[in-house]
């Protein structure tokens, strides 16, 4: 009989070893093979999709960047051709000598127009017109001798003065040249590199019938930022290429800026349309995508190394397969060697588990699953049956759900009072700022380390149950608690505010609920002038008798100061209210109510004025008042009120000042519409012209030029319909120097010419007048 009992574990072990080892090995092998096959399939498909997605991204990017840059270049070209029909330009073309009458004023006016058209636009660095008849270079910055301009003031590294003398070719409308460095020389200080620019040459000879041309120097960094900001390609370099000279105009690979390339060596059609191909250079394969521009000599090229797309996936696949094979070999070896050591204890566990398990073992089932299920059930039963007795007791005591009979039963069964029969409660209230490195989880760990029963009342309040043998031990526990909180708050007092209220010592456990209310009262009634973390029911800790009521007249005056942006007035009245609270020794609870009323007033103004609350409060406005409920330090409440009131009053003050300034500008423009320009407005309001342009765009959402042109065209529409004035005279009357410029701008904004607009709307105007 004894031998039979001893043989039970060995038989169970042998049976389990034979059955389970084969099952584990087969499952392990099949799982490894399936993982290898699926990993290889996923890798192949991922490479295919990655290359396909990269091609699609390249196509989308090429269409977008081609459209954007073509639009930019065409816009600059159209502005340049508008100069060719300008009166000042034609007058200079007609002159033969700089000493002629009106040369200075005419060249000055034309220089200002170049500045307004181009240099005020941050895309263009400079623009100049070469007048062969006067041997003069007229730029946005002034008039120069050609030799001085090309050799000292604005010297092109790759395009000397001789290049510009022969630059315009007969029949060539416009050309864009590859990027080059521009250097400047001031006095004897030497030559300094200024920046890289892309020259845009406009041949206006045929328009003006004189040997003249215009060059617009585009900042290459702006083109590069436009190309790079729109970049949605995957690991590719982008090139803006000159297909005529086989040079890179701009590129994300900054080392190749201005270099040449061999277009014939690339399997691409660089003269028309768009194309895609691959090329192998050495051992590397590259994916090429090309898009031709509407400009005859421009194109966009993306070069993507295929290994940048597929390399990470392939490397991951190789490592995965290697790890899987190694894992299978190691697992097989360990299973074979340590089978006896694994299954002998396991068999003993199964035999013992059968004796008291809640469910019987099914024949043919997995021993692992059987043990796991029963252990999980036992663990769950233990957790449900044995929660913290003291936490349950504390909860019932706080809610007055315990009597002397319960206490006697707990004492008899669990010897509850072996820790002492002298009690006190510590109510812990805490608030964390949004930028705090501390968190509620850190506080919970701290309370757990204190080794006293703790109960969470809310997210920001917890109760500690102090149980000792005598009052001296209670005071020692309170002192230790204060030291723990001091260490917790070290270097974090600005982002964590914490207050702890200690109840009086009590002996009957039935007084727990009363002690909790007394500890809460300690925190609510403490004086705003009392500093520290721990507070007791001592008389010197309590605040005086005061009222948190915000008088109607002060509330109205405070609202008026804020709403009118009176920074000093709002700050003075706020300090008066906070000082009165300090002088009255106001209880903290009432002081918190006063702070809530003050901040509610600020929130109300924010909502009425539609101000961005996130930028002002660093939180949504509807979270400001709830946040105050978590603050436990009166100094933080004061600082919060001061910061919000100052930020709000300064913001409203700036709003009112900006509104006054822009309204003054608009009134002045309306009164001087025909002659109004950026320089005039800047002089009138004592501002820099560039600042006026940026300020105008920020306040109205449109550029200064677009706003002026819109007003002039609106006025012209009224004159076209309501008068018989000629189109030329109307254009001059509203502020256009020549009829061509007026007609072009009218058609641009209204999609019809002035005469077409007059014919289409004059009859309707007369009919409406007759009906009235």
Most confident of 313-322, 338-347, 581-590, 756-765: 581-590
Q: How confident is the model at residue 239 (pLDDT cuts 50, 70, 90)?
A: confident
- Which region among 159-168, 172-181, 407-416, 497-506 has the lowest average model confidence (pLDDT)? 407-416
- Which of 291, 298, 296, 261 has the alpha carbon at shortest distance from 276? 291
pLDDT band at 7 (very low <50, low <70, confident <90, very high): very low
Q: How confident is the model at residue 186 (pLDDT cuts 50, 70, 90)?
A: low
Rounded to 5°, angle at Cα 421 from 419 and 427: 85
Mean pLDDT of 501-514: 81
**pLDDT of 11 above 50:** no
Measure the CA–CA gap between 28 and 661, rounded to whole angstroms.
78
Answer for the pair 57, 236: CB distance below 8 angstroms, yes or no: no
- What is the structure's pLDDT at 695? 74
Cα 274 from Cα 276, distance rounded (Å): 7
Burial of 757 (0-12, 13-18, 19+ CB in 10 A): buried
Label residue 1 by pLDDT band (50, 70, 90). very low
The helix, strand and coil proportions of the chain, stated in percent and rounded to the nearest 5, come to 60, 15, 25
The mean of the pLDDT values for the chain is 75
25: left (phi over 0), alpha (psi -120 to 50) or beta: alpha
Sign of CA dihedral 307, 308, 309, 310: positive
pLDDT digits (tens, 9 = 90+) for 131-157: 877 888 888 878 888 888 888 888 888
**pLDDT tens digits for 76-129?**
888 888 887 788 888 888 887 888 878 888 888 888 888 887 776 678 888 888
Note the pLDDT tens digit of each residue in 678-716.
888 778 777 787 877 887 777 777 888 888 888 888 888
Strand bridging mode 454-458 / 461-468: antiparallel
Q: 157 and 183 in contact (C-beta within 8 Å)? A: yes
**Residue 65 has what pLDDT?**
79
The top-level CATH class assigned to 389-541 is alpha beta
Give the three-class secondary structure for 367. Answer: helix
Percent of the chain with pLDDT over 70: 75
**Residue 361: predicted pLDDT:** 60
B/e letters for 139-153, b = 16+ CB within 10 Å, e = fewer, are: bbbebbebeebbebb
| C-alpha–C-alpha distance, residues 671 and 235, integer Å | 56
What is the arithmetic mean of pLDDT over 598-624? 75
Residue 212: the pLDDT is 76
End-to-end CA distance of the chain: 125
CB 263 within 8 A of CB 298: no
DSSP helix/strand/coil, 364: coil
What pTM does this model have? 0.42
The pLDDT value given to residue 191: 64
User: Which position has the token pair 């008042």?
Assistant: 625
Under 8 Å between Cβ of 554 and 577: yes
Tell me the mean pLDDT in the region 555-584: 79
- The CA distance from 533 to 531, in Å, is 7
Mean pLDDT over 402-408 rounds to 68
DSSP annotation of 467: E
| Burial of 541: CB neighbours in 10 Å, binned 0-12, 13-18, 19+ | middle
Q: How confident is the model at residue 170 (pLDDT cuts 50, 70, 90)?
A: very low
Q: State mean pLDDT over 223-246.
A: 75
Task: Provide the β-strand partners of residue 182.
Answer: 156, 195
Please compute the mean of the pLDDT values over residues 633-660 and round it to a whole number.
78
Choice among 529-538, 581-590, 716-725 with the minimum mean pLDDT: 529-538
The pLDDT tens digits of the residues spanning 53-71 come to 777 777 787 778 788 888 8
Say whether pLDDT at 207 is over 60: no
Average pLDDT on 306-333 reads 74
Q: What are phi and psi of 276, to 5 degrees?
A: -135, 145
Residue 538 to residue 546: CA distance in whole angstroms: 19
DSSP state of 230: T
The CA dihedral of 89, 90, 94, 97, to the nearest 10 degrees, is -10
Q: What percent of the chain has pLDDT over 90?
A: 0
With a cut of 50, say whether residue 6 has pLDDT above it: no
Q: By the 8 A CB rule, do 371 and 356 touch? A: no
User: What would the mean pLDDT of 745-769 be, rounded to a whole number?
Assistant: 75
- pLDDT per position as a tens digit, 651-683: 777 776 766 777 777 777 878 778 888 888 778
Residue 432 C-beta-side C-alpha neighbours within 13 Å: 14
Q: What is the pLDDT of residue 4?
A: 38
Among the CATH numbers 1.10.10.60, 3.40.50.300, 3.30.1180.20, 3.40.50.720, which is that of 672-771? 1.10.10.60
pLDDT score for 770: 56
Residue 14 in this model has a pLDDT that exceeds 60? no
**Higher-scoring residue by pLDDT: 348, 318:** 318
Q: How would you write 522-578 as a 3-class SS string? A: HHHHEECCCCCCEECCCHHHECCCCCCCCCHHHHHHHHHHHHCCCHHHHHHHHHHHH
Q: Is the pLDDT of residue 344 over 60?
A: no
Q: What is the pLDDT of residues 438-456, one digit of tens each?
A: 887 888 888 777 777 777 8
- The DSSP bridge pattern shows strands 534-535 and 496-502 to be parallel
Cα–Cα distance between 738 and 718 in angstroms, integer?
Answer: 19
CA–CA dist 66, 223 (Å, integer): 12
474: part of which helix (H) or strand (E)?
Answer: helix 471-489
pLDDT band at 367 (very low <50, low <70, confident <90, very high): low
For residue 26, the model assigns a pLDDT of: 73
């Amino acid at each position: 009989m004894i031998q039979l009992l001893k043989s039970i574990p060995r038989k169970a072990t042998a049976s389990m070893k034979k059955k389970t080892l084969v099952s584990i090995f087969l499952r392990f092998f099949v799982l490894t093979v399936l993982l290898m096959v699926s990993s290889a399939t996923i890798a192949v498909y991922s490479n295919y999709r990655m290359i396909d997605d990269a091609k699609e991204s390249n196509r989308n990017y090429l269409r977008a960047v081609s459209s954007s840059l073509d639009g930019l270049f065409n816009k600059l070209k159209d502005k340049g051709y508008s100069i060719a029909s300008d009166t000042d330009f034609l007058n200079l073309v007609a002159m033969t000598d700089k000493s002629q009458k009106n040369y200075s004023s005419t060249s000055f006016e034309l220089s200002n127009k170049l500045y307004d058209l181009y240099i005020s636009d941050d895309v263009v660095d400079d623009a100049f017109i070469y007048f062969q008849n006067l041997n003069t270079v007229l730029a946005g910055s002034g008039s120069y001798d050609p030799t001085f301009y090309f050799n000292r003031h604005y010297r092109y590294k790759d395009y000397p003065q001789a290049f510009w003398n022969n630059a315009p070719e007969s029949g060539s409308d416009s050309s864009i040249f590859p990027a080059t460095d521009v250097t400047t020389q001031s006095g004897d200080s030497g030559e300094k590199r200024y920046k890289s620019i892309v020259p845009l040459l406009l041949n206006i000879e045929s328009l003006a019938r004189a040997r003249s041309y215009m060059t617009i120097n585009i900042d290459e960094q702006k083109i590069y930022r436009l190309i790079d900001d729109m970049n949605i390609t995957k690991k590719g370099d982008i090139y803006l290429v000159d297909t005529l000279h086989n040079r890179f105009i701009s590129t994300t690979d900054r080392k190749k800026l201005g270099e040449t390339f061999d277009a014939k060596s690339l399997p691409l059609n660089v003269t028309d349309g768009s194309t895609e191909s691959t090329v192998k250079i050495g051992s590397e394969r590259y994916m090429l995508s090309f898009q031709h521009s509407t400009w005859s000599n421009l194109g966009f090229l993306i070069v993507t190394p295929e290994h940048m797309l597929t390399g990470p996936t392939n490397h991951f696949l190789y490592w995965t397969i290697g790890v899987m094979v190694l894992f299978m070999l190691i697992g097989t070896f360990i299973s074979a060697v340590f089978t006896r050591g694994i299954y002998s204890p396991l068999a003993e566990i199964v035999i013992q588990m059968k004796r008291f398990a809640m469910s019987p073992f099914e024949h043919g089932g997995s021993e692992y699953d059987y043990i796991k299920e029963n252990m999980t059930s036992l663990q769950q039963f233990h957790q449900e049956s044995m929660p913290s007795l003291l936490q349950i007791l504390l909860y019932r005591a706080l809610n007055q759900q315990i009597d002397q009979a319960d206490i006697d039963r707990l004492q008899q069964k669990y010897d509850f009072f072996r820790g002492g029969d002298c009690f006190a409660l510590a109510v812990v209230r805490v608030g964390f700022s949004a930028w705090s490195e501390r968190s509620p989880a850190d506080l919970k760990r701290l309370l757990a380390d204190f080794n006293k029963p703790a109960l969470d009342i809310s997210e920001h309040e917890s109760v500690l149950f102090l149980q000792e043998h005598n009052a001296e031990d209670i005071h020692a526990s309170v002192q230790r608690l204060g030291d723990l909180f001091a260490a917790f708050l070290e270097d974090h007092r600005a982002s964590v505010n914490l207050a702890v209220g200690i109840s009086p010592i009590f002996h009957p456990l039935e007084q727990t609920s009363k002690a909790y209310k007394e500890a809460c009262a300690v925190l609510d009634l403490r004086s705003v002038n009392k500093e520290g973390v721990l507070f007791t029911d001592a008389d010197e800790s309590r605040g005086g008798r005061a009222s948190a009521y915000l008088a109607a007249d002060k509330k109205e005056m405070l609202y008026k100061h804020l709403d009118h942006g009176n920074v000093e007035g709002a700050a003075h009245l706020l300090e008066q209210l906070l000082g009165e609270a300090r002088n009255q020794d106001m209880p903290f609870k009432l002081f918190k109510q006063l702070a809530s009323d003050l901040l509610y007033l600020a929130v109300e103004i924010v909502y009425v004025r539609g101000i961005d609350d996130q930028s002002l409060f660093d939180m949504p406005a509807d979270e400001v008042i709830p946040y105050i409920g978590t603050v436990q330090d009166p100094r933080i409440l004061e600082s919060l009120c001061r910061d919000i009131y100052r930020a709000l009053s300064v913001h409203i003050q700036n709003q009112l000042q900006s509104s006054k300034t822009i309204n003054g500008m608009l009134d002045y423009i309306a009164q001087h519409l025909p002659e109004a320009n950026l320089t005039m407005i800047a002089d009138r309001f004592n501002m820099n012209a560039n600042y006026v342009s940026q300020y105008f765009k920020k306040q109205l959402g449109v550029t200064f030029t677009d706003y002026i042109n819109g007003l002039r065209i609106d006025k012209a529409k009224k004159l076209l319909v309501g008068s018989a004035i000629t189109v030329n005279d109307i254009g001059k009357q509203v502020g256009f120097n020549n009829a061509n410029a007026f007609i072009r701008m009218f058609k641009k904004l209204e999609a019809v010419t002035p005469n077409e607009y007059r014919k289409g709307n004059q009859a309707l105007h007369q009919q409406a007048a007759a009906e009235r």
